[in-house]
Amino acid sequence: MNKTNVKPAEGKLGVLVVGLGAVTSTFMTGVLMARKGLAKPVGSMTQYDKIRVGKGADKKYLKYDEIVPIAKLDDIVFGAWDVYPANAYESAINAEVLKEKDINPVKDELEKIVPMKAAFDHNYAKRLDGDNVKTVKDRWDMTEQIREDIRRFKKETGVDRVVVLWAASTEVYVPVDEKVHGTLAALEAAMKADDKEHIAPSMCYAYAALSECCPFIMGAPNTTVDIPAMWELSEKTGMPIAGKDFKTGQTLVKSGFAPIIGTRCLGLSGWFSTNILGNRDGLVLDEPANFRTKEVSKLSTLESILVPEEQPDLYTDYYHKVRINYYPPRNDNKEGWDNIDIFGWMGYPMQIKINFLCRDSILAAPLCLDLVLLSDLAARAGRHGIQRFLSFFLKSPMHDYTKGEVPVNHLFQQYVMLKNAIREMGGYEADEEID
């Protein structure tokens, strides 16, 4: 093993999740089942992927935990907040993602995961009506109560470290406002002034997490940590942040398939994406203001892969449309259709159709695991601020838009970033380039 300055993964790792719905209950059940040897964590890079380190005679392919110290599944302790009081077992049964026979072996452990009262504002998710909600004076008080929850969780469970993961619903779109979101001082002033328009509940969770020295991961397309004020806080506390929006189904396909068109130098006339899903996420996204947040995230993928300025003959004026339709009969079994109009030699048109019948939570659960373990690793490696190497797992990767930075959305370039970061943290050379 090469020399590395990453602190070892000693003791227990607390995983506090905002939202105890389909994704989270599936994530928790899978981890607990895998610990007992009753299920396999398929889809998890940290558990399965191998990375080459060294070249020539020194070349080896190693799993992540052979390169860097990653927390073991046995060391994870779960906690959650949710607007509904159902425990993790009840939530897993209600979600109907997993069969009862795949939940019951860990029923006792899941029943002990009882959600804390959520910091919630009905105006940010009008379709949700839970009663397991905090009573707060203002946004600052909301933040202070979350901080107290984190401290109490640490004390009661005896965990050494905590990562906070947002796996709750998509909030109403909050545009970035420089006056409020531009500096940490301005953000804190807005929280104390109870500025409900510019301060979403998710921002209170993120602020609380970072202030309590916990990495924070934004798994929805919310603006939450995608603002300079939060970047400033993460630098101040020395904590990593990552976001936004888990890249599970259609966008995963898009970030992997668009490079085929680009690499082959084929032209694009239009890309139409539509989804149907019937879980709680679909219900919330049926509200236009909430869908707007998701739309911004899903639309951003293509434009940085097939860039008009780089290939004006091929990618000028293509039409890109994204739709999500709430359809209760499907529940968590999401279906994504993509119709892609391309053109080839001498401008002749062709079409590609992709129909992905996926299971939203089955794809999201391993992402949750990887993001949690790698954010914890990043914190122990002394990495703070935006963790660009985690872009591989996210639909709309965070980037410094104030300096004109363009996010990397190309799946295989994102994979290079991920591998290089693991190599560097393991004391090896980052030896691949993004061309």
Q: Tell me which fold the domain 13-246+361-425 belongs to.
A: Rossmann fold (3.40.50)
**What is the distance between the alpha carbons of residues 257 and 255, in angstroms, rounded to a whole number?**
6
Region of 225 please: left (phi>0), alpha (psi -120 to 50) or beta. Answer: alpha
Measured CA to CA in angstroms, residue 193 lies from 148, 188, 207, 231 at distances of 21, 9, 16, 21
Q: pLDDT digits over 148-187, tens only?
A: 999 999 999 999 999 999 999 899 999 999 999 999 999 9
Rounded to the nearest angstrom, the gap between the alpha carbon of residue 302 and the centroid of all alpha carbons in its chain is: 18
Percent of the chain with pLDDT over 70: 99
Average pLDDT over residues 81-85: 97
| CATH number of this structure's domain 250-357 | 3.30.360.10
Two tokens, residue 359: 């299971």
Q: Is the pTM of this model over 0.85?
A: yes
Q: pLDDT digits over 207-225, tens only?
A: 999 999 999 999 999 999 9
- Kindly indicate the confidence band of residue 227, based on its pLDDT and cuts at 50, 70 and 90: very high
Residues sharing a CB contact under 8 Å with residue 272, sequence separation 6 or more, in sequence order = 319, 321, 323, 338, 339, 340
DSSP β-ladder status, 76-82 and 116-117: parallel
Measured CA to CA in angstroms, residue 86 lies from 21, 73, 90, 415 at distances of 9, 24, 6, 37
pLDDT reported for residue 129: 87
Nearest to 269 by CA among 172, 205, 363, 347: 347
3-state secondary structure 34-90: HHCCCCCCCCCHHHHCEEEECCHHHCEEEEHHHHCCCCCHHHEEEEEEECCCCCHHH
pLDDT reported for residue 297: 67
Average pLDDT of the chain to the nearest whole number: 94
HSE of 352, CA atoms in CB hemisphere, 13 A: 20
pLDDT reported for residue 127: 85
Average pLDDT over residues 105-131: 95
pLDDT reported for residue 60: 96
Please return the burial class of 296, using the count of CB atoms within 10 Å of its CB with bins 0-12, 13-18 and 19+: middle
Q: Does 410 have pLDDT greater than 80?
A: yes
Average pLDDT over residues 184-207: 98
**What is the distance between the alpha carbons of residues 291 and 321, in angstroms, rounded to a whole number?**
13
Q: pLDDT digits over 342-391, tens only?
A: 999 999 999 999 999 999 999 999 999 999 999 999 999 999 999 999 99
In one-letter notation, the amino acid at residue 292 is: R
Average pLDDT over residues 227-255: 95
Average pLDDT over residues 117-140: 94
Determine how many CB atoms are found less than 10 A away from the CB of residue 318.
Answer: 18
* Residue with more model confidence, 151 or 249: 151
**What is the distance between the alpha carbons of residues 137 and 256, in angstroms, rounded to a whole number?**
46
Phi, psi at 304, each rounded to 5°: -95, -5
Q: Does 1 have pLDDT greater than 60?
A: no
**Burial letters 300-315, b for 16+ CB under 10 A, else e:** bbbbbbbeeeeeeebb
**Burial letters 234-262, b for 16+ CB under 10 A, else e:** beebebbbbbbbbbbbbbbbbbbbbbebb
Average pLDDT over residues 260-284: 90
DSSP β-ladder status, 267-277 and 335-343: antiparallel
Q: Does 430 have pLDDT greater than 90?
A: yes
HSE of 163, CA atoms in CB hemisphere, 13 A: 28
pLDDT reported for residue 298: 67
Two tokens, residue 68: 């860097």
**Domain boundary assignment for the chain:** 13-246+361-425, 250-357
pLDDT reported for residue 226: 95
**What is the distance between the alpha carbons of residues 253 and 411, in angstroms, rounded to a whole number?**
9
**What is the distance between the alpha carbons of residues 95 and 362, in angstroms, rounded to a whole number?**
12
- Distance from first CA to last CA of the chain, Å, rounded? 29
